[in-house]
Amino acid sequence: MILIAAILTEPIKLPGQNDPELKYFRLMRMAEGENEGMILGTQVINGQKVLFKTDLYGAGRRIAHIENGYLEEIDLLRKIDGVVTNALDHLDDWSKISDDDLSEIRKGMIECVDNLENVENKDKVALREQLQASFTFRDSRGRYNPNVMQARLLKAKRHLGSRLEQIEDISRYLTVDKLKMRGLVKEQVDPIEGFLNKVTQAPHWKKADMLAEIDKLKSVSAGQKYEPYLSFGRKFSGKLEKAETALQSNNLEAAAQEFTEVYLIAKLERAYKEIQAVYSKISLHPEESDPAALLVELQGIHDRLKTHNFAPNRETSEYTPAFIEVYHLLNSLKKRLRETTAAVQQNLNFDESQSPTPESPKQIKKSRMDAVLERVEKIPAVGKVISEIRGILASVLNRFKEPKVARKSVQASAESSVTKVTKEESFAAIKKRVKEFDFRALAQELPV
What does the pLDDT look like over 34-67, one tens digit per residue? 899 999 888 776 667 788 899 999 999 988 988 8
Q: What pLDDT does 349 receive?
A: 62
In this structure, how many other beta carbons lie within 10 angstroms of the beta carbon of residue 357?
A: 8
pLDDT tens for each residue of 385-440:
455 555 545 554 454 444 444 445 545 544 554 556 688 889 999 999 999 999 99
Please answer whether residues 227 and 38 qualify as being in contact, where contact means their C-beta atoms are separated by less than 8 angstroms.
yes
How does 80-106 read in b/e, with b if 16+ C-beta sit within 10 Å?
bbebbeebbebbeeeeebeeeebeebe
Q: Over the Cα atoms of the chain, what is R_g?
A: 33
Partners of 4 in the β-ladder: 7
Considering only residues 202 and 188, tell me which one the structure prediction assigns the higher pLDDT.
188
Cis peptide before 358 (omega within 30 of 0): no
C-beta atoms surrounding 246 within 10 Å = 19
DSSP 404: P
% of the chain beyond a pLDDT of 90 = 40
Contact 152, 130 (CB under 8 A): yes
**Torsions phi, psi for 228 (to 5 deg):** -85, 5
Which residue ranges make up each domain of the chain? 2-54, 65-170, 202-351+423-444
Beta-carbon count within 10 A of 125 CB: 13
Contact 365, 397 (CB under 8 A): yes
Return d(Cα 165, Cα 177) in angstroms, integer: 19
Q: Are 45 and 70 in contact (CB under 8 A)?
A: no
Higher-pLDDT residue of 169, 7: 169
What pLDDT was estimated at residue 366?
A: 54
Give every CB contact of residue 47 below 8 A, 6+ residues apart in sequence.
120
Nearest residue to 416 (alpha-carbon basis) of 333, 355, 343: 343
Predicted confidence band at 298 (pLDDT cuts at 50, 70, 90)? very high
Write down the pLDDT at residue 338. 93
